[in-house]
Amino acid sequence: MASAAALLLPRLFLLTLVMSLVAVAASDDNCTAAGQIRVNCGASVSATDSDGRAWDGDAASKFAPSVGGVAAGASYKDPSLPSPVPYMTARVFDSSYTYSFPTRPGSPRRVFLRLFFYPSAYGDRAAGDALFGVTAGGVTLLRDFNASQTAFALDQAYLVREFSLNISGARLDVTFAPSSSSNGYYAFVNGIEIVPTPGDMVITKPVPTFANGGLPDPMPIRADTAFQTMYRLNVGGTAVSPGDDSGLLYRSWDDDSPYIFGAAFGVSYGKDSNVTIQYTASVPAYVAPESVYASARSMGPSAHINLNYNLTWILPVDAGFYYMLRFHFCEIQYPITRLNQRVFDIYINNQTAQSQMDVIAWGGGIGRPVRTDYLVVTAPAGAGQTDLWVALHPDVSTRPEYYDAILNGLEVFKLQTYDTDSLAGPDSPPIPRPVDDGGHAGAGADAARSKRTGWAAAAGGLAAVLVGCVFMWATVCRRKGKAGSGVVHVPEPTPAPVLDGPTETYVFFGTDQK
């Protein structure tokens, strides 16, 4: 018996050690699960949303020094709401109010802060009377924000605003303040979500360097910079819900087709069945879910047509800020397996951000993801809103096998201004999305949609004629000079303003490769 026990103890010890190591490895893969906070504002009990996330009610004032504001229920449930939680209850404030959230030990730490808004009548308060600002971590996130007007302009029933904040203290304070209580304005919020993130989610390595003009000087982004997520697109694929995101980060990835310029949509496709997405140390799984890298959009099979157009996206943004654009690439279909088979250029606002982009060369093979980041500066703040133009075009300087381009995913982040510590855009409502969003419309959207339908019918006929003319021209015309001379160019960018930010140049980049 003693001998058996002596043999059993070491085995139990080894088994315990292995299980511990497995648990540690699992915790590393899902490192963001710890420390997540979700508040269903205005609710008194816990509830679960459609993605399986548990939300705590705030009636017990768990995250505030005292109960403030008024708990209220929405007067109407829009059918496009993804879940009643957290949208059907709200905390309404007639004066400034602060939630105070504990954060994980260690400094600094970076988190996603998401604010959920469902513009609706709450009690005797009209939706249009909500005009307020939000600050968090010493940064102004929203100023004179009218959720109802913004939702109407975007043809949406609800809004989610996502920010990436660097936390240095033991708590994160989030303050909601009506713009002017004397005018009857109020503030409200339906849900607050805090998700700790890996440190390199937005602050990338290597340090970004200039991409235009060939200047190699490194241009780092300050570690304490706050970001706002403006766009997160699954290019060539369908929308990805928060529950299907990777790394337990609960991000939403939208369909990219509403932002494509003109009728040239290219070709969207999924990965070959025998291709496996192989994450790497520089591009781990939490960077983007497999569904992003497993779908793509290319220009199409015709080299002649591809050489005569740009695959272009138009993304409206607030002027007066720096923006970081993150491109996700992955070759996922045979026969693209070798170097110099598909090589292309990346343009941002008609500037060459990257020439001779070869995904196989950068990633190391088929199925291996690549992410690359570029920083751009927009027109001065007085311009209100402006457009970011992103375009791809074949690069034939190395005589590749295919004249084509590819993109799997695209994210756009706004950087705070350092002189004012602000992410707040203009007071006016945003520019409407380029096309209908597939029926996810808010109150008053039916009239806007019917008006767009009439215009769309007329525009569709005109577009068909124009496309026919373009292809006829492409067939009979001879291409002269350097490849790309027949490209449909995007508008010239506005001269760069002088901003208190990371740099005063137009474009610079950093890339994570194999």
pLDDT of residue 371: 93
3-state SS class at 172: strand
Tokens 């007066």 -> residue: 320
CATH no. for 222-415: 2.60.120
**In the numeric block, which tokens belong to residue 370?**
């690549």
pLDDT of residue 203: 75
* pLDDT tens for the 514 residues of the chain, in order: 444 444 444 443 333 333 333 333 333 333 345 789 999 999 999 999 999 999 999 976 677 666 689 999 999 999 999 999 999 999 999 999 999 998 877 756 899 999 999 999 999 999 999 999 999 999 999 999 999 999 999 999 999 999 999 998 889 999 999 998 678 999 999 999 999 999 878 776 665 544 443 443 456 788 899 999 999 999 999 999 999 999 999 999 999 999 999 989 999 999 999 999 999 999 999 999 999 999 999 999 999 999 999 999 999 999 999 898 999 999 999 999 999 999 999 999 888 889 999 999 999 999 999 999 888 888 777 778 899 999 999 999 999 999 999 999 999 999 999 899 999 987 666 766 554 333 333 333 333 333 333 333 334 433 433 334 333 333 333 333 333 333 333 334 333 333 444 433 334 344 555 5
Q: DSSP states of 431-476 as a string?
A: PPPSS--SS---TTHHHHHHHHHHHHHHHHHHHHHHHHHHHHHHHH
> Residue 282: left if φ>0, alpha if ψ -120 to 50, beta else—which one?
alpha
Sign of the Cα torsion 422, 423, 424, 425 reads: positive
Which residues does residue 342 pair with via DSSP β-bridges, in sequence order? 402
Q: How far, CA to CA in Å, does 393 sit from each of 10, 140, 471, 480, 488? A: 62, 38, 17, 16, 10
Question: Among candidates 286, 498, 481, 254, which has minimal Cα distance to 377?
Answer: 498
Q: DSSP states of 243-311 as a string?
A: GG-STT----BEESGGGB-TT---EEEE--TT------SSS-GGGS-HHHHTEEEE--S-HHHHTT--E
Match domain 37-196 to its CATH number in 2.60.120, 1.10.3470, 2.60.40, 3.40.190.
2.60.120
What proportions of the chain, in percent to the nearest 5, are helix, strand and coil?
Answer: 20, 30, 50
- Give the amino acid at 473: W
Q: How far, CA to CA in Å, does 36 sit from each of 103, 272, 284? A: 9, 36, 20
Q: Do domains 37-196 and 222-415 have the same CATH topology?
A: yes
pLDDT of residue 307: 97
Residue partners of 301: CB distance under 8 A and separation at least 6: 267
Sign of the Cα torsion 432, 437, 440, 444 reads: positive
Cα–Cα distance measured from residue 17 to residue 138, given in angstroms and rounded to the nearest whole number: 44
pLDDT of residue 351: 84
Which residue ranges make up each domain of the chain? 37-196, 222-415
Question: Among candidates 330, 384, 324, which has minimal Cα distance to 348?
Answer: 324
Neighbours of 195 (CB within 10 A): 23
Which spans in 322-480 are helix H?
359-363, 445-476
